[in-house]
Amino acid sequence: MSLSLYDVSVPVFLRAFSNLTEILKKAETFADEKGIAHADLINARLIEDMLPLAGQIQRASDTAKFVGVRLGQAENVPMEDNEASFADLHARIEKTVAFLKTIPASAFEGRENAEVVLKTRSGETTYTGRDYLLGFALPNFYFHVTTAYAIIRHKGVPVGKMDYIGRA
């Protein structure tokens, strides 16, 4: 049996969001225990020209849901990118997870060679469905999830590799 586009995307996103949820819970608890304002963590960045923690969560969410839109042929669920609290970040993840769970694996069937046109500030790039998922979406998703983890870890939250990877 071969792996499908669905197999290497939606379950992967769901697991990462589950792990990220637990990491955010640890960050919130840490902030409360140390008397750190939640906004200080939510707005924290690794460096000034990178998005803050909230932005990293938003981009991970967008990347996952756009895989569902572009490859799973689902209708987009707009999200406002206005998360300002841990509750907001959890709600964003929950909304993304709920959206992904509505897309059946069958919606991804035969989409390996579907044309995906990605429009960015630097122009357009055309991918096949397979190349979009493997060469852009998954690396982009993990970039933002990893950066969110790194921001939280950098701020002193006691999380480690197994928090990021999770336990099966």
pLDDT along the chain (168 residues), means of 10: 92 98 98 98 97 98 98 96 98 98 98 95 96 98 98 97 90
Rounded distance, CA 149 to CA 157, Å? Answer: 10
pTM given for the model: 0.96
The domains of the chain, with CATH numbers, are 10-165 (1.20.120.450)
Query: Which pLDDT score is estimated for 167?
Result: 82
Query: Which pLDDT score is estimated for 2?
Result: 86
Query: Which pLDDT score is estimated for 1?
Result: 63
